[in-house]
Amino acid sequence: MSTTIDEMPNTLTRPAAPPSSAIADARNLLRETAAALELDPGIQEILASPERSLTVNFPVVMDDGSIEVFTGYRVQHSGARGPFKGGIRYHPAVSLEETTVLAMLMTWKCAVLDLPFGGAKGGVKCDPRRFSQAELERLTRRYTMAIRPIIGPHRDIPAPDINTNQQVMAWMVDTLSQVDDASAMASVTGKPIALGGSQGRSRATGKGISVVALELLRAHDRDPAQTTVAVQGFGNVGRSAALALFEAGCKVVAISDISTGLYRPEGLDIAAIAEHLDHLPNGLLESYDAPGISRISNEELLEMAVDLLVPAALEGQITGANAHRVRAWAIVEGANGPVTAEADEILDAAGVIVVPDILANAGGVVVSHLEWVQDLQGLFWDEAQVEDRLQERMARAFADVAHRATEQGITLRQAAYRLAVSRVAEAVHWRGCTG
Ligand code: GLU
């Protein structure tokens, strides 16, 4: 059983873009989308703010006997289309603002993929790297109790996000089932298989990224074997994306994490690198070496002349400051919000295709949905069945978004937002708000 913090273990340091610009970007995008859809201003206003934001402060007894008080959040953006859904993040940069933006992104993500969920996000402001396993467990159980009043299988279903993993999800389920004296399997996704988790969940986000990347290549008559790829971030998302693209025959020439970047023009052996990291306690790339590999910085990786660039670390990596130096043919957003609005405009003017996060990295929540369905029905599917469903749903969403983009002469991000916002707005409209 994995006890490492592995949803994204090797995240980068905090990006330059302040969170306040992220919230402004998110609201602007909604405003532009609403204008293009000629949305009722009242419905736009409903969607501009979360339905519920919970801030919790809770104590944790540390191993040395001292007490520390932590602040956590759970923000529920829109429940119009179904129970709220979204991950839990442990990171020093977690804030109410960041959690709010990410909750809104989850609403759009679930809607683009046509999942019967609304959007939420949670997090605890902390540096999990300085905790022992026992401290991490106590923090998780306390946080779970603090947000328990608003979560549940038909209310709000948490999942892993940055620095949380299947072990954290297992503690959450156990805490909920103890206090409610009932099974809480369907209350959390991203669980271990032994605890009602789904086959294929741990690699789902990367698999989904590769599905949309391959669909993009197909739409442009490009051969995967002739396609070069650079992946920023080698945590759960970056690593599974690099591996899936490598297995699909693409040439992954550059990868990076917090410790270093690796570059090999003939392509890196991602399977061998992943295997090497499995035997390391810290899972960092710095100790890996093989003939023909040179070291590069994260900045160099982002500015490489590759076909596909997959930023799969934190938000705000490609900004107004470096967007004009991007030389990739297309960017596939593995992380949530890695390209700022300012960068988006620069990239669009330069003809760089951007597959937006709400489509590209939705593989995780797609398999979370499959996990939730399996838990509710008490009947489980094998890996091939899960992968077929993931492949089918991601490919369909890509086709829907690409079709709209071509038809209306707009970017893939604009098309994805129009699709998502119109679906959520329709649900809000049918519900009405007079009662
Ligand atoms: N944290 C992942 C995301 O941002 C997964 C969320 C989920 O499965 O609910 O999409």
Q: What is the CATH number of the domain that holds 273?
A: 3.40.50.720
Q: 162, 5 in Cβ contact below 8 A?
A: no
DSSP string, 165-203: -HHHHHHHHHHHHHHHTS--GGG--S--GGGTPPTT-TT
Active-site entry in 121, 191, 207, 251: 121
Task: Mean pLDDT check: name the lowest of 9-23, 64-78, 252-266, 399-413.
Answer: 9-23
Q: Would 347 be classed as within a structural domain?
A: no
Atom number in ligand 1 closest to CA 157: 9
Given a contact cutoff of 8 angstroms between Cβ atoms, the answer to whether 16 and 319 are in contact is yes
What is the pLDDT, as a whole number, of residue 292? Answer: 95
Q: Last residue of a domain, which of 313, 348, 373?
A: 313
Whether residue 57 is found in the same domain as residue 125: yes
* Cα–Cα separations (whole angstroms), residue 406 to 219, 228, 364: 11, 25, 27
Average pLDDT over residues 181-192: 95
**Domain membership of residue 169 as a residue range:** 5-188
In a domain, 209, yes or no: yes
Q: Which atom of ligand 1 is nearest to the CA of 160?
A: 1
Please report the pLDDT score of residue 3 as a whole number. Answer: 34
Statement to judge: residues 143 and 20 lie in one domain: yes
Question: Ligand 1 pocket, 96 CB below 6 A?
Answer: no
In a domain, 321, yes or no: no
Query: Is residue 336 in some structural domain?
Result: no
pLDDT at 11 (0 to 100): 40
Q: Of the residues 161, 166, 386, which should be mutated to test ligand 1's pocket, given the most ligand atoms within 8 Å of the CB?
A: 161
Residues 24 and 166 both lie in one domain: yes
Determine the pLDDT at residue 283: 86
Residues 214 and 118 in one domain: no
What is d(CA 290, CA 147) in angstroms, rounded to the nearest whole number? 47
Q: Are residues 165 and 218 in the same domain?
A: no
The domain that contains 97 carries what CATH number?
3.40.50.10860
* pLDDT classification of 433: cutoffs 50, 70, 90: confident
pLDDT digits (tens, 9 = 90+) for 340-377: 999 999 999 999 999 999 999 999 999 999 999 999 99
Instruction: Single out the residue in 284, 313, 342 at which a domain terminates.
Output: 313
336 Cβ closer than 6 Å to some ligand 1 atom: yes
How high is the mean pLDDT of the chain? 94
Residue 104 included in any domain:
yes
Residue 291 lies in a domain: yes
424 lies in a domain? Answer: no
Query: What is the average per-residue pLDDT within 132-144?
Result: 98
Residues 59 and 150 both lie in one domain: yes
Residues 151 and 270 in one domain: no
Strand order in the sheet with 261-263: 294-296, 261-263, 251-256, 228-232, 308-311, 330-332, 353-355
125 in the same domain as 166 = yes
Number of domains observed in the structure of the chain: 2
Tens of pLDDT, residue by residue over 44-89, are: 999 999 999 999 999 999 999 999 999 999 999 999 999 999 999 9
Residues 59 and 154 in one domain: yes
Domain-embedded: residue 26: yes
Whether the per-residue pLDDT at 265 is higher than 90: the answer is yes
Domain co-membership, 69 together with 98: yes
Please indicate whether residue 83, judged by its CB atom, sits closer than 6 Å to ligand 1. no
35 and 180 inside one domain: yes
Domain boundary among 137, 161, 188: 188
Q: Do residues 182 and 208 both lie within one domain?
A: no
Tens digits of residue pLDDT in 298-313: 999 999 999 999 999 9
pTM: 0.93
